[in-house]
Amino acid sequence: MEKQLHLNLLASRPPMAGGFQSSSKMKMGPGRKRDFSPLPWSQYFETMEDVEVENENGKDIFRIYCSGSHGPVLLLLHGGGHSALSWAVFTAVICSRIDCRVVAMDLRAHGDTKVKNPEDLSADTMAKDIGKVVEVLYGENPPPIMIIGHSMGGAIAVHTATANHIPSLLGLCVIDVVEGTAMDALNSMQNFLRSRPKTFKSLENAIEWSVKSGQIRNIESARVSMGGQVKKCEESTSSPGVSNSIGEGIIEEEEDEEVEEESNKKRMKEDDQEMTKESIFTWRVQLSKTEKYWDGWFRGLSALFLTCPVPKLLLLAGVDRLDKDLTIGQMQGKFQMQVLPQCGHAVHEDAPEKVADALATFMVRHKFTEFKEGYLC
């Protein structure tokens, strides 16, 4: 149960027993080698662009991926440590279901977004980012927008909606994040983060780990989205798998130390260099350093969600994730809820068709859009 609680903070998941057992996509014949090669964003999105946003410190640049030319805008916000590419397979599916436009953005300090102050990941700052990007994209008269967020992105979606940063907001969809279980998980989150590999020998290696560990159960989605989670290390830097304090300790030691200690330090340096050569990919976001913002993302989230004055959809990987406030709200009909079993925390990656079907049905029911001609729901 403790491991399950971790799912509500980050878009990642501790290793699961059996690895591949929950996804039919991963059942392959004996002797066949699985393909963990990366897939390009262009296979799923139509365009990619960088949006410049002015602030008091200069310009922030947000990477967005888009598809569709008409219909309401689906604004997609990813989970902690992930990127807009986590929505790639879902985007291709939803665009085949309904008339819509998709805008998936890399949040600050994530993916290929570049901001002046990447350390500021407060809910307030990230919600303001969303509003500014929408303003740059659409001006003073934005089209109808449905905001959809997963995990951390779901929390930011709620904060964005309640702060009225999107005046043309149609609806709100939150995927697998609930205040109660998220808050319970915070105490043990650092241990979970330390359990992950620090580095990978290649992008293929990272993709393979994400699938075999159960973080992403859909191999196709892993092949396109993991490139947004990891980056190639700078050759001049020491390996991120080795603590900086070790390297600093080597430099700062007194000169009159014993020869044996000098020899030990030399071996440590050699080991460091060797690891740097072998481990060339590391995480883009050091999530452990964002701890001071975790409470602000999730505390009071259920009450905020329930007060949003637009139609709301909550998609969960398990009904056990509901906390008291949401259970009461759901019984009172304040939002629509759907449980998608046999999914991990990355619901939209593990089961993009099921999430697309749930969202399409929700939007058509509320007359936000229409099914595409020829699509049979």
Catalytic positions: 151, 176, 345
- In what helix (H) or strand (E) does residue 19 lie, and over which residues does it extend? none
Q: Which amino acid is at 295?
A: D
Q: How far is residue 10's CA from residue 101's CA, in Å, rounded to a whole number?
A: 26
Name the residue type at position 218. Answer: N
Read off the amino acid at residue 372.
K
Give the distance from CA 303 to its chain's centroid. 23
Q: List the structure tokens of 10.
A: 């980050």
Which residue type is seen at 367? K
Instruction: List, in sequence order, every beta strand (DSSP E) within 5-143.
Output: 47-55, 58-67, 73-77, 101-105
Listed residue (157, 106, 170, 202) closest to 301, CA to CA: 157
Q: How many whole angstroms from its chain centre is CA 312?
A: 20
Strand order from edge to edge, sheet including 230-232: 199-200, 281-283, 230-232
Alpha-carbon distance of 287 to 306, in angstroms, equals: 28
Report residue 33 as tokens: 């080698």
The residue count for the chain: 377
Please give the DSSP secondary-structure letter assigned to residue 72. -
Q: How many CB atoms lie within 10 A of CB 347?
A: 25
